[in-house]
Amino acid sequence: MSAAAPESPPDTIAQRSEQRFFQTNPAEKRRQQVGLSSLTPAEKKTYAHVHLIHPAVNRRVPFSNKTEREFWKFVTKEGLPIRRLPRNYAWGTDRTGRDIGTYSPDELEQRSLKHAKLTSLQIQHRHFLSKREKQHEISAEDITAEKTRRKAMAALKRDLYGEITGTLAKDPEWDDVIPIPQNEPEGALAQIAYPDDYAEAVSYLRAVMAADECSPRTLRLTEHVISMNPAHYTVWLFRFKIISVLKLSIPDEINWLNEVALSNLKNYQIWNHRQLLMDYYYPIIEEDDQTIRKLARSETQFITRMLEEDAKNYHVWSYRQYLVSKLFMWTMGELLSTQNHIEEDVRNNSAWSHRFYIVFSDPTASTPGSGPTDADPRVPAETLDREINYCKEKISLAPQNQSPWNYLFAVLAKGARPLSSLKEFAESFVSALGEDAEEVRSSHALDFLAKLYDDEGKREKAELCLQRLGEKWDPVREGYWKYRVQLLKSGAKE
């Protein structure tokens, strides 16, 4: 094989791993470039021998003695590597979530040196503890050295892992803080039995909040408390204050928040914190269209991931609605994304609600400040027709599903269209009402008809619809239907 041209030094660890992969896998790069059939005979021979080395070592290839001698003779002559590195080695992430594979070689060397230094300090620390346990004489110099060592270990752990490990009382970083314990009245009937580590962390949190300290260590403390109790509302507010005072990176905070959210799907405080971050971050980037588009894309991707875990998560849908307005995401892509959720589950009321918001709150095609059921002349007629037809299609799939019926009522109200415009459609779900052959495929259609007949002045037919709902088709809400009958007789509207 001809000597390959020298490669340029890698910029990242991942690039270096890629280079080493090809160095230990001769002919692999050529095979990927031109295909196995286009390799030269010499390259094919090298390629075959490289891939047979491991099976040969493990005796998984039935070589004859002569063939085996010839095989290893060729391997030795060509200097083929016995050990081959895997491709796409996973380096993992650091404390900020950054892929270590994106480190430069110098950055990785510095990280490795810190690991080595921490290991050395831990060995010395264990030696000190061993001497103390065995009651060996410990000098003042030994104690001073141990204090210095503990501070260095704590700093390295924070730098490498970003976590608070062990009790705060034993961490030299917190020696200057006097914790404020929970003040429970003596003899209180409902004292909360906090775990010791949580009670300690919160007592330090009270102290730094009382001192109004916004610093890197208090940020780490909030992360520590949140890891134990993500529903602690106050710690989230304090964390946001720290971030805004220190002017920390919002994208970094969002990346951290993503991991917390995926581990706590039903937590509300996470989404309130995220909204505060957006309100703080948006004025900083509002003149940068590219950054806003990138943010909208990344937020949408994360919301999609969250909804894959829980398609009806109220907090996620509420935040999504906020995000549409904040980042002006009144797009067909957003509409289609929401429609996909309805296609997957036609009973997903959250998706229906979001669709209504996208369609009828778009400032380019609606009246600002118009209520959800207020008639809006700015909404195009073709939009109303499209939404009505979409409702009819989904109602036909699941007539007893209330979501599209509610949506249909709201669309008609938006367009100031009478219920009678869909009389034939609604009546298709009801037959022989009040007779022995009575059949109702949708109680919601019966409710629709009750309102429709009332609008037409056909009070007896409207009353019959309500009576049959209470008596047979929705007896669980019998009291409500009787109330509706009373309203009907009095001429009042609900």
The Cα 219–Cα 235 span in angstroms is: 10
What residues have CB less than 8 Å from 428, skipping those under 6 apart? 445
Using one digit for the tens of pLDDT, what is the confidence trace for 252-279?
A: 999 999 999 998 998 999 999 999 999 9
Q: For residues 390 and 457, state if they share a domain.
A: no
Q: For residues 385 and 432, state if they share a domain.
A: no
The answer to whether residue 93 is domain-embedded is no
Q: For residues 397 and 436, state if they share a domain.
A: no
pTM check: above 0.85: no
The answer to whether residue 334 is domain-embedded is no
- Dihedral sign (CA 394, 396, 397, 403): positive
Using alpha carbons, list the distances in angstroms from residue 112 to 103, 108, 361, 488: 12, 6, 54, 79
Q: For residues 253 and 325, state if they share a domain.
A: yes
Q: For residues 369 and 409, state if they share a domain.
A: yes
CB burial of 308-318 (b: ≥16 within 10 Å; e: otherwise) equals: eeeeebebbbb
CB burial of 373-384 (b: ≥16 within 10 Å; e: otherwise) equals: eeebeebeeebb
Residue-level pLDDT, tens digit, the chain, 494 residues: 445 556 788 888 888 888 777 776 667 777 777 787 777 888 788 778 777 777 877 778 788 888 878 888 887 887 777 776 667 777 788 877 788 888 888 988 998 998 899 899 889 888 887 877 777 777 888 878 887 888 788 778 777 876 565 678 877 788 889 998 887 766 667 777 788 889 899 999 999 999 999 999 999 999 999 999 999 999 999 999 999 999 999 999 999 999 999 989 989 999 999 999 999 999 999 999 999 999 999 999 999 999 999 999 999 999 999 999 999 999 999 999 999 999 999 999 999 999 999 999 999 999 998 888 899 999 999 999 999 999 999 999 999 999 999 999 999 999 999 999 999 999 999 999 989 899 999 999 999 999 999 999 999 999 999 999 999 999 999 999 999 999 998 877 76
Q: For residues 413 and 454, state if they share a domain.
A: no
Domain finish residue from 375, 401, 417: 417
Tally the domains of the chain.
Answer: 5
Residue 168 has what pLDDT? 84
Domain finish residue from 280, 303, 329: 329
CA-wise closest residue to 164 among 181, 173, 240: 173
Residue 171 has what pLDDT? 79
The answer to whether residue 377 is domain-embedded is yes
Q: For residues 427 and 408, state if they share a domain.
A: no
Q: For residues 23 and 61, state if they share a domain.
A: yes
C-beta separation of 426 from 452 below 8 A: yes
The answer to whether residue 362 is domain-embedded is yes
The Cα 43–Cα 27 span in angstroms is: 6
The answer to whether residue 95 is domain-embedded is no
Residue 2 has what pLDDT? 47
Residue 85 has what pLDDT? 67
Q: For residues 125 and 143, state if they share a domain.
A: yes
The answer to whether residue 236 is domain-embedded is no
Residue 384 has what pLDDT? 97
The Cα 480–Cα 290 span in angstroms is: 53
Residue 187 has what pLDDT? 67
Domain finish residue from 118, 144, 161: 161
Q: What single letter denotes the amino acid at residue 14? A: A
Residue 422 has what pLDDT? 96
For 171, which DSSP code? -
Domain of 293 in residue numbering reads as 249-329
What residues have CB less than 8 Å from 289, skipping those under 6 apart? none
Using alpha carbons, list the distances in angstroms from residue 461 to 29, 454, 464: 80, 8, 5
Q: For residues 255 and 324, state if they share a domain.
A: yes
Q: For residues 351 and 411, state if they share a domain.
A: yes
The answer to whether residue 174 is domain-embedded is no
Using one digit for the tens of pLDDT, what is the confidence trace for 340-375?
A: 999 999 999 999 999 999 999 999 999 998 888 899
